[in-house]
Amino acid sequence: MAPRLSWIICCVILPVTAAAADPGVTADTIRIGESAALSGPAAGLGTGMRIGLEAAFAECAAAGGVHGRKPVLIARDDGYDPDRCVDCTLGLLNDDHVFALAGYVGTPTAKVALPIIADQQVPLVGIFSGAKLLRDPVLPNVFNLRASYDDETEALVAKLVAAGRHRIAVFYQNDAFGEAGLGGTIAALQRRNLEVVAKDSFERNTVAVRTALATLEQAAPDAVIMVAPYQPVAAFLTEAEKSHFSADFATLSFVGTENLIAAAGPAAEGVLISQVVPPPSDTSVPLVKAYVAALAAAHPDASPAYTSLEGYADGRLLLLGLDQAGDTPTRAGLRAALEAMHAVDLGGLMVTFSATDHQGSAQVFLSRIKNGKAVPEQ
């Protein structure tokens, strides 16, 4: 059955009947909470996810809502700081009384929210993170749309090695996110009987990259995989250019592609980036076409971008789950509806969940920065 790209997507899933509504549900609204970096050095990522979710929700509301209820997003700013994320999550659940959570940004922040989510049995749909700790073992209340960092690093290493780059170093953030990207790179290299030739890190929410750069330069790698958000990656690339450090540079989707291009300027030229959604410029993809229209309607000043496209896709997934959960939604009903999804086409992004697998997609799309734009890499 072909996908129907209004706010909901047609697929064959048995509806889930619920007995009574949980918090956050009224006769005409359903409240969804988001904790993300809306300020600080990773603000572009949180803002992008929020904008994408809002575009999906506004699109849904304009079409009449989910069973007559309009989704309302309540976003709190955690600044990409784990302690603040705890406060934001508690505030969303205990003060704002949201029904479900969505669009969290980052591994270290999502990690500390997990005990709260488990305690209150609230679904979290869509995290801007590919960390293994959010996937294995399966967390009953966490549903990841995007591919994992293992998937992304495998794609990057495969591309680099095929191009003859065997001496690969890693620049990474010193936390759970950085360790996840480092671990994925090590595993991908080991599958090819290779090893990381050098590695060094920097501290989260800083751009203190010079020591790590010096460490990596000494090893003379022919490629560097960078596991970091856009500001430290931009600083690393700028300093590398100043020191005439010659290597191929690659990074993961978490970098925030458009934010990196803006922050690094010409220093970003040629950088290879793994992506977990299709190019936001390719409106031949049904999901992207719908996203571009929804973004223009909800945020006419915003330009299409990878991060907000992911937020939009997360929103569409959540709304689809709510539709299938029935007209009296419960959190348990939403979880059951999501786990019942098999081979659902979001319009160019295939999604499958089960009780034993809460990673919806493993698709990775490679891009490269050329002339100040991210273009698909063949």
Q: What is the DSSP letter of 348?
A: S
Q: Which of 243, 275, 307 is the C-terminal boundary of a domain?
A: 275
| Distant-in-sequence, close-in-space partners of 71: CB < 8 Å, separation ≥ 6 | 29, 30, 32, 57, 60, 61, 65, 315, 318, 319, 322
Any domain includes 376: no
- Whether 110 and 176 map to the same domain: the answer is no
Q: Tell me which amino acid residue 19 is.
A: A
- Whether 90 and 206 map to the same domain: the answer is no
Q: At 208, list the tokens.
A: 């203190």
- Whether 33 and 116 map to the same domain: the answer is yes
Per-residue confidence of the chain (378 residues) as pLDDT tens digits?
333 444 444 333 334 433 446 899 999 999 999 999 999 999 999 999 999 999 999 999 999 999 999 999 999 999 999 999 999 999 999 999 999 999 999 999 999 999 999 999 999 999 999 999 999 999 999 999 999 999 999 999 999 999 999 999 999 999 999 999 999 999 999 999 999 999 999 999 999 999 999 999 999 999 999 999 999 999 999 999 999 999 999 999 999 999 999 999 999 999 999 999 999 999 999 999 999 999 999 999 999 999 999 999 999 999 999 999 999 999 999 999 999 999 999 999 999 999 999 999 999 999 999 999 999 997
- pLDDT at position 7 is 42
CB 47 within 8 A of CB 256: no
CATH of the domain at 226: 3.40.50.2300
In 63-190, which ranges are E strands? 70-77, 100-105, 124-128, 142-143, 168-173
Query: Residue 208 belongs to what domain range?
Result: 149-275
State the Cα–Cα distance between residues 132 and 134, nearest whole angstrom: 5
Using the Cα atoms of residue 40, residue 42, residue 48 and residue 50 in order, give the sign of their dihedral.
negative
CB 236 within 8 A of CB 267: no
Any domain includes 13: no
Distances (CA, A) of 198 to 179, 186, 216: 14, 11, 6
- Whether 334 and 245 map to the same domain: the answer is no
- Whether 247 and 159 map to the same domain: the answer is yes
| Distant-in-sequence, close-in-space partners of 120: CB < 8 Å, separation ≥ 6 | 93
pTM strictly above 0.95: no
Domain count, the chain: 2
Residue whose pair of structure tokens reads 């705890």 in the numeric block: 86
Q: What is the DSSP string of 283-297?
A: TTSHHHHHHHHHHHH
CB 19 within 8 A of CB 327: no
Task: Identify the CA nearest to 227 among candidates 110, 108, 378.
Answer: 108
- Whether 251 and 312 map to the same domain: the answer is no
CB 368 within 8 A of CB 271: yes
- Whether 269 and 153 map to the same domain: the answer is yes
- pLDDT at position 11 is 38
Any domain includes 130: yes
Any domain includes 20: no
